[in-house]
Structure formats: C-alpha cells, structure tokens
Amino acid sequence: MMGDAESCSSRVFNYGWNNGNHIIKVEAYNEVVNRLRELNEPEVDVPGFEDELWVHFNRLPTRYVRYALDMKVERAKDVLMHKRLLHMAGASAIAIGPAIEVRPVQVRSASGVHRINSLHSNSQREISPQDSDIPGNMRHDHLKLATHEITISTNDKPKLFRQLTSLLSETGLDIQEAHAFSTLDGYSLDVFVVGGWAVEETEKLKHVLTRKIHRLEKQHWLKERNSLPMKKLEQTGINFNYVNLSSRGNNALEIDASCLRYEKQIASGSFSDVYKGTYHNQDVAIKVLKNGNLNENIPREFAQEVFILSKIQHKNVIELIGACTKPPNLYIVTEYMSGGCMYDFLHMQKGILTLPSLLKVAIDVSEGLSYLHQNDIIHRDLKASNLLMGEKGVVKIADFGVARLLDPAGIMTAETGTYRWMAPEVIEHKPYSHKADIFSFGIILWELLTGKLPYENLTPLQAAIGVVQKGLRPEIPRDTHPKLVELLHHCWHQDPSFRPDFSEILKFLQHISNMVEGKRKLVSCVEATPT
C-alpha cells in the first residue's frame, strides 16, 4: 500500500526523464533496493514494496538530491526507518504527536566547532558547544556521554527547524550536525547528530524529546484543527478516537483483545502484521498495527478500513468479524482465508489457472467490485496480493486501507495504489472515478492469464511513465481467448469513459464462461460417441 503521499511520477515528468538530479535519485533508489535484498530484509518481499520505496524517494523534491546521495548503500536500512517515520507522521492529525527515533551512533571526533546544514534555508551556520549547556547531573563524566542520532518527522510548518534546534539545545544536547528535509506533501524529516547524553539512557532521551515535541505539535495542531483537510475527514463520518461498529448489529462488535488467540504470522508489512488465529474457536485473520499504543500515531488507514468493512457485506468481499479500536489494542479481525492470496499462488507457488478456473476467479472479483461500486466505494489498490482464496475456491477482495467513498466531484488523492496496477489518470494526478478500479482489474486479469508480474522487466517508475506517456500495456499471449483479449483492451483503455462498468464486465465474463462450458460439453459428447 502507497498511502496518501503526493509524490508522483507526474512531477518527474515535469522535471524531465533525463534531468541530472532525477538520474541520481533513480541510481540511489536502485542501490538501496539491491542492498536491502542482499541484507535479506523481510520488508523487501512484501508485494508493492518497491513502489512504496520509490514514493518515499519522490516525496523529497528533486533539488534535495543530497538525500539520495547520502541514502545509498551504506545507509540503506536507514531509508526504511525514514519511510516508517514519515508514514507515522502522516497520522499526526489524528493522534497529535511526532514520530521520533533515537539511537546511539559512532562518529569520528571533530574539532570543537561543528557545522549545521539546514536544507530548509540552504544556509550553514557554526556553533561552539558549551559545557554549561550540559545538565548538571551529566557533567561529571564526559567519557560516558555518547553521540546520538535523532530523527524526527512531523507536520512541516514555518520555523519548525529553528524550534526543534532550540528544543534540543534546551534539553542540554550539543548539536554536531543537522539535516532538514521538507516533503512535497507537507511533512518534515529532520536528522540531528547530538552529544551530551549518556548512552545508557537512550530510551529516556527518546521519552524526554517525545514529550517535549508532543507539546510543540499539540500547540500547532490546536490552531489548525479547523483546517479544510480535517473538516473533510470529519465529513466522512469517521470518529478517529473510536470507530463505532454497532451499526451492523451483533455480527460486528468491538472485540475484547483477550479473547484473541494467535497461532502464526502469515504476512508482514511496514506498518502492520497479519496473524492466523482464533476468536471464540473461529479461525480468523488478525491485522495488528505496529507502534499502535497511546504514545504513537494511529494510521488514518486503520479507521478508514474498519469504517468501510463495517458497512459492507458480500460473498466476494472479506468479512469483518470485529475490531479492537481502543489504543493500545488496534486490531482488525476478519474471516480467515485458508487458500492465501492470489499473488502467492501465481508468483510464489507458480500456480496455473485453467481457463474455466480463471473465469471463475474473474467473475468472483467482478461481483465483489460491482457491489462496492454500487455502494460508491472505490478500492484504489486492486492487485493479486489483495485477492484472497477460500477452501471452496471462492475469491474475496481484501485490504481496504486506502479504499474511499466516491467523491462526486472527482477530487480524490492522487497516486494512490501500486504503480504496476495503477490507472494513468491516477498517476497523472487527474480527477478519477471508479473507472480507475476497472483499469487495475484489467491488469489483474492479465496477471491471471500469464502468472507473471506486470512489466516485470521494468522498474515500477518506468512502468508508470510508459503507461502514461506511451500507452504501454502488458503483452497479451497469442493463445488468449479472443473475447478475453477484447475485454482486456476495454478495461485498460487510456480514456476512462471507454472502460465498461463491472455490471457489463460480469455479463461479458459469464458469456465467455458459457461459451467455454458449451464447447467443453460438445467435445466430451463427441469423444463419448462410439465410432
């Protein structure tokens, strides 16, 4: 999942593909991905990871090329931490608080004068550390004082860097180095290297800074709480402090976390883990948000996913059993699908679908999506990894973290989803509708036909640029049923108005299915006839 970051390839189009700074960013991105694979980081194997990582690099303007230069092979794992902090900061309007990481680091000794680089102002200034700035209880033994790296992400605002610098100095920290970045979508990523705190008390330092920055953030949030973005969120009817599940009756209640039993982890992402478990002796899937306690930010997607799942019921949509919505227990509990996800079946298990089986899957997905669209819900992240298989071959649509109620004006978050499945109008930040889901369905249909990753020889960004600028589409195998070829071309048409609705797609698929079944019966009858 990409979230609501406005970081898109359409901005890259404006800079130009051959722009020197952009090339540096692409090279850094590729080096980081390769290094993380060498380190066997589990996050790399999560479907859509490369797309999310590219979004992270593009959240920082191209002129901030130093981030790409610094975050190459040597600091590849730091990129994961920065990506996580920025995501947590994205929920600060909900939970009022910074996302912060503090860790001891080893830095070569320098002169008594340290240089601070601020990319907010593109200026440099020098400071001379004073022992008097160090708290009295720590002055007695400088040998035990360590160098720490402090990374802070929060809503960006005027004078933020100056406020954070003052706050660190007031805490008794000697700022040796600092880097400040502003993202395109209004968040900060500030990295400070400081001295003046005992290495044994790293966690205490994080607690002290979190509390102080929390106060700073709260003061700003109280001034901005009536801003337009917050009003739009409130208009969706979602209570971010508590999501009321009672509207669906006894089938969806607030779950007591103590009644959940965990058996094994079945999936892991940047911000959540999924476990197979039981609830009152019923097999369930438990989606657990990471860092979901009172002192952390509550991701916006959690509230949205619970809200939407509590409003829908269909045989081809994952069923909500209930949720734990009171921090620190933030869980979404759904029915357990024993067959796993379609992505693993196609790409990990190298499964092959016969034409009748493929049509059955496509019809299941179409029925679920037709239901969602009739209820003005756009999924926005359709792909094989979000299709789950049950014991009896039924396929259900899952993962509604970025799903939204349709905005009649077409004003929706740009570039939401995963590049390889994303409609061109979404990539280009144009107004879009439920027809974006139909484009993604076309890519899924091709995926079911071939068992391959869309545009597997291209990076996610290259694929996105090809889709928009060159009308690039996956190559359809020659032996594909002619009617399916026709359907694919309709679904991934560049102009959304030419794409069919799912009610039409359903009729078309059922017609093909009847043709295939009729042909199969005819062949069986001929073979059974004695000569």
Pick from 206, 183, 182: which is nearest to 194 by CA? Answer: 206
Tokens of 210: 């979190």
Paired residues of 283 in beta bridges: 278
CA atoms within 13 A on the CB side of 296: 20
Tokens of 500: 């069919």
Tokens of 357: 């089986």
Tokens of 332: 């979404």
Give the span between the Cα atoms of 417 and 378, in whole angstroms. 11
Q: What is the 3-state secondary structure (H, E, C) of 200-251?
A: HHHHHHHHHHHHHHHHHHHHHHHHHCCCHHHHHHHHCCCCCCCCCCHHHHHH
Let me know if 190 is a catalytic residue: no
Pick from 481, 452, 454, 451: which is nearest to 466 by CA? Answer: 454
Q: Which residues contact 196 (CB under 8 A, 6 or more apart)?
A: 129, 133, 134, 138, 145, 172, 173, 174
The residue count of the chain comes to 531
Q: Is 334 exposed, middle or buried (0-12, 13-18, 19+ CB in 10 A)?
A: buried
* Cis amide bond preceding 229, omega within 30: no
Which letter does DSSP use for residue 380 in this model? Answer: -
Catalytic one of 381, 437, 495, 501: 381
> Which residues are annotated as catalytic?
381
